[in-house]
Amino acid sequence: MENLALKIPEDQLKKIGQKVVDEYKADLGSRSEWEKRATNWINLFSGHRMPIDFPWPGASNINIPLLSVASLQFNARALDSLIPGKEIAKCYATDGQSIERAARVSRHMNWQLTEDIEDFEAGMDELLLMLPIYGCGFKKTFYDRVMGKPSSRLLSFKEFVVSYGTKTLHKCKRMTHAYEEYLNDIKIKSQQGIYSPEAMNLKEGSGVKINDPGSILQRKIDDITGIENDMSVEHPRLMLEQHKWLDLDNDGIKEPYIVVVDEETAMVLSIESRLILDEITGSVKILEYFTDYQFIKNPDSIYGFGFGHFLEHLNESANTIINQLVNAGTLATTISGIINKRSGIKKGHLRFRLGEFVEADLTTDDIRKSLFEWNFKEPSAVLFNLLGLVVNYAKEISSVSDSMLGKLPPSDTTATSMLTVLEQGLKIYSTIHKRVHRSFKQELRKIFYINSIALDERVYFLVQDQTSGDMVGYESGRADYSDMIDVIPVSDPTITSKAEKLVKAQTVYQSVMNDPEATPENRYNAKKKFLEANEVMNVEQYITQPEPVEPPDLSPIEENALFLQEKDSVVLPQQHHRGHISTHNAFVESTWGEKLTPQGKKLMERHNMVHMSYQYTQEQMEMETMGRQMIGEPMPMEGMEGMQ
């Protein structure tokens, strides 16, 4: 894309650059309170606790992993549901005809997601762990000009910044991707024309971290992970890539642009338009880069609600209670007290062995009169019961029950009852999965659109199965990525566990196999679904797709008998349509016709309409043939091969 910064006056660039930096810092300030709470969430999740000296140095400092268990449980279920295997996306023809194109696009996109786009699955794994902790996550989908292919990356909160008051990215007028870039990479981009020539004058970074001045959350993450600022290595510079609206042509209307600014100097390095012309449709579209994922929707902000919000105070209360219980137990089991200074007992450790008496030099007649032992109470049973109450509340909020943690139910629990309990317990997960599923669909559509404008045709062709019938009508990859194809995740948001998926597939399998009227096609699909639910690889090796069965050529009398049973019959092109219509009409007017049910009459009327359609086509073709013969026009060659 063209760097428009090269065409804008310097004084205007300075104003734009400074405004970008000011707006970035303002957005950071708007979410400062959220960052403070998020710092506590990451503490609770990681179990990281600062050393304490109350009520005494070295006192109990335990963290109960309520938030950790809830978040890890969601991550394990959601990742398995969203990315069930090698097929992540599926495409379908919106016009009902481009089925082969949809199959090719599905094959290519699944290869991209599993093989070509680096760290895609790892990014989804991290995202699905971030969601329950913080309540939201963000991904950036774009065409990587260096790699020459689409990329979809998870952005941490230090990298993606919007105002806390933002409710939806679709209507957000300002979004900032803050990233660190080393001086050598900046100079390379300047030589390539991506950045302006002035970028060559920049110096090494000053060690300013992303989100400075003062990202509380980032400093806490660095503290937990043990990252320190090494002053002996080269420091990158902080770049602000802000997606915003500007009026550069002074026509009074703002257009969408991407402005890249060096945060320290406020120097504008690049300005690119986000408007792109679709060569196929001729329409102008706005490139959308960012996708937001919500755990539980926050009506006031794009920063959604997570388990961190709901379990924060419960987890802190549980931590306080268990530390009080441990400290009380420590006091109750430790011998300590007061000794009379004038007792004459020598100071120091008193050593003894069982079965022996130890000598002591005393001036008092009774040793008990010189010693006073502290008598601390045992740990409180009330506090212990309160701890159980707090933990149970946390389980209810996070839907983490014993059954969902893999523990066996009572021996008299039936399988049906157990599945019903699990289904009810997973309701909250199912709702969140649907929300994540919608966002994932938006991300897939961004990748789809990038392919439609910047597809590597050679790679696309190599990915395809060139021996497949799907290659019929193949023109180009970009032609396949058209408005007639849409893409959705292959996952089912209503199914939140393998057990649920397997039970549903098994129910269908047993029902179809026990049905004597089930068609071979239905039996094949039921077997395939059952094997796939059991995660069997290469299903086609174990089942054979049935050959298509030609419908029987029934007489009109046999068809009338089917209509009495409310069953339909297939009209074949080679049948004598006029005779069928006449027989059916006579049947309707007979006493037998009076016994037809409303459904039977409807089936017969539709059946007759198909016969009339075939009859009309035959008569018109016969009339056209007679007309050609009368004027001596030769017959069309189609269908006349081999005739002498």
Q: Considering only 77-86, 222-231, 243-252, which range has the smallest mean pLDDT? A: 222-231
Per the CB < 8 A criterion, the answer to whether 555 and 595 are in contact is: no
Q: How far apart are CA 531 and CA 535, in angstroms?
A: 6
**Whether the predicted pLDDT of 374 surpasses 80:** yes
Nearest to 287, CA basis, from 257, 249, 260: 257
Instruction: Tell me the range of 231-240, 526-535, 593-602, 618-627 where mean pLDDT is highest.
Output: 593-602
pLDDT band, residue 643 (cuts 50/70/90): very low
Residue type, position 413, single letter: T
DSSP 380: P
**Whether the predicted pLDDT of 498 surpasses 70:** no
pLDDT in tens, 249-305: 989 999 999 999 999 999 999 999 999 887 666 778 899 999 999 999 999 999 999
pLDDT in tens, 93-124: 888 778 888 989 999 999 999 999 988 999 99
Residues 165-170 have a mean pLDDT of 92
pLDDT score recorded for residue 207: 60
Integer Rg of the chain from CA = 37
Per the CB < 8 A criterion, the answer to whether 132 and 74 are in contact is: yes
pLDDT band, residue 583 (cuts 50/70/90): very high
H helices then E strands: how many in the chain? 18, 14
pLDDT band, residue 539 (cuts 50/70/90): confident
- The mean of the pLDDT values for the chain is 84
Residues 408-433 have a mean pLDDT of 58
Per the CB < 8 A criterion, the answer to whether 128 and 122 are in contact is: no
Residues 6+ apart with CB under 8 A from 453: 276, 278, 279, 478
CA atoms within 13 A on the CB side of 606: 12
**Whether the predicted pLDDT of 32 surpasses 90:** yes
pLDDT in tens, 174-189: 999 999 999 999 999 9
pLDDT in tens, 467-485: 565 666 677 888 899 888 9
pLDDT band, residue 383 (cuts 50/70/90): very high
Q: How far apart are CA 432 and CA 449, in angstroms?
A: 26
**Whether the predicted pLDDT of 33 surpasses 80:** yes
3-state SS track over 538-588:
CHHHCCCCCCCCCCCCCCHHHHHHHHHCCCCCCCCCCCCHHHHHHHHHHHH
Residue type, position 307, single letter: F
Q: Considering only 9-18, 99-108, 287-296, 439-448, which range has the smallest mean pLDDT? A: 99-108
Q: Which phi and psi angles does 251 have, rounded to 5°?
A: -100, 5
pLDDT score recorded for residue 504: 76
Any long-range contacts for 74-79 (C-beta under 8 Å, 24+ apart)?
Answer: 74/128, 74/131, 74/132, 74/307, 74/398, 74/429, 74/432, 75/125, 75/128, 75/129, 75/132, 77/426, 77/429, 77/496, 77/497, 78/128, 78/131, 78/429, 78/432, 78/433, 78/436, 79/124, 79/125, 79/128
Residues 6+ apart with CB under 8 A from 250: none
Residues 605-617 have a mean pLDDT of 89
Q: How far apart are CA 219 and CA 42, in angstroms?
A: 11
Find tokens 């009409």 and name the residue.
585
What percent of the chain has pLDDT above 70?
83
Residues composing the chain: 644
pLDDT band, residue 225 (cuts 50/70/90): low
Q: How far apart are CA 479 and CA 258, in angstroms?
A: 28
Cis peptide before 213 (omega within 30 of 0): yes
609 compared with 636, residue with greater pLDDT? 609
**Whether the predicted pLDDT of 355 surpasses 50:** yes
Find tokens 């066996």 and name the residue.
408
Beta carbons within 10 angstroms of residue 641's beta carbon: 6
And the tokens for 142?
């774009």
**Whether the predicted pLDDT of 402 surpasses 50:** no
Any long-range contacts for 500-508 (C-beta under 8 Å, 24+ apart)?
Answer: 500/419, 500/422, 500/423, 500/426, 501/533, 502/533, 502/534, 503/419, 504/533, 505/529, 505/530, 505/532, 505/533, 505/534, 506/530, 506/533
pLDDT band, residue 230 (cuts 50/70/90): low
pLDDT score recorded for residue 639: 40
What are 294's strand-pairing partners?
136
pLDDT score recorded for residue 227: 65
200 compared with 360, residue with greater pLDDT? 200
Residues 135-163 have a mean pLDDT of 93
546 compared with 637, residue with greater pLDDT? 546
Residues 326-349 have a mean pLDDT of 79
pLDDT band, residue 594 (cuts 50/70/90): confident
Q: Where are the beta strands (DSSP E) in 341-381?
A: 371-373
Residues 506-517 have a mean pLDDT of 84
* DSSP string over 401-419: -TTTTTPPPPTT--HHHHH
pLDDT score recorded for residue 35: 93
Has this prediction a pTM greater than 0.85? no
Q: How far apart are CA 352 and CA 310, in angstroms?
A: 54
Q: How far apart are CA 222 and CA 242, in angstroms?
A: 25
Per the CB < 8 A criterion, the answer to whether 231 and 207 are in contact is: yes
pLDDT score recorded for residue 644: 32
Per the CB < 8 A criterion, the answer to whether 485 and 98 are in contact is: yes
CA atoms within 13 A on the CB side of 372: 4
Residues 219-234 have a mean pLDDT of 65
Strands 267-273 and 275-277, by their bridges, are: unpaired
And the tokens for 100?
């082969």
pLDDT in tens, 128-145: 999 999 999 999 999 998
C-alpha to C-alpha distances, 10 to 5, 240, 267, 269, nearest whole angstrom: 9, 19, 10, 12
Q: How far apart are CA 415 and CA 503, in angstroms?
A: 10
pLDDT band, residue 403 (cuts 50/70/90): very low
Strands 160-161 and 174-181, by their bridges, are: antiparallel
* Strands, sheet with 174-181, edge to edge from the N-terminal-most edge strand: 160-161, 174-181, 237-246, 255-262, 267-273
Find tokens 């009520």 and name the residue.
55
2 compared with 141, residue with greater pLDDT? 141
3-state SS track over 65-117:
CHHHHHHHHHHHHHHHHHCCCCCCEEEEECCCCCHHHHHHHHHHHHHHHHHHC
143 compared with 414, residue with greater pLDDT? 143
pLDDT score recorded for residue 476: 83
What percent of the chain has pLDDT above 90?
45
And the tokens for 162?
């919007």
Any long-range contacts for 346-350 (C-beta under 8 Å, 24+ apart)?
Answer: none
pLDDT band, residue 640 (cuts 50/70/90): very low
130 compared with 541, residue with greater pLDDT? 130
